[in-house]
């Protein structure tokens, strides 16, 4: 079981920077939208 999890983590690791950048971008956009709609 642990071996499967480790293999899965190793195979998805190259995607982490993209996922992180996308998440930050989405949160940033949401904050900006909320800021402008609050005015």
**Ranges of each domain in the chain:** 15-39
Residue 15's pLDDT band, with cuts at 50, 70 and 90, is: confident
The H or E element that residue 32 is part of is helix 16-38
Query: Which tokens in the block code for residue 1?
Result: 């079981």
What tens digit of pLDDT does each residue of 17-34 get?
899 999 999 999 999 999
What CA–CA distance (Å, rounded) separates 35 from 24?
A: 16
User: Look-up: residue for tokens 């690791």?
Assistant: 13
pTM, full prediction: 0.54
């Amino acid at each position: 079981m642990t071996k499967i999890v480790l293999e899965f983590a190793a195979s998805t690791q190259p995607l982490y920077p993209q996922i992180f950048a996308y998440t930050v971008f989405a949160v940033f956009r949401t904050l900006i939208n909320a800021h402008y709609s609050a005015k």
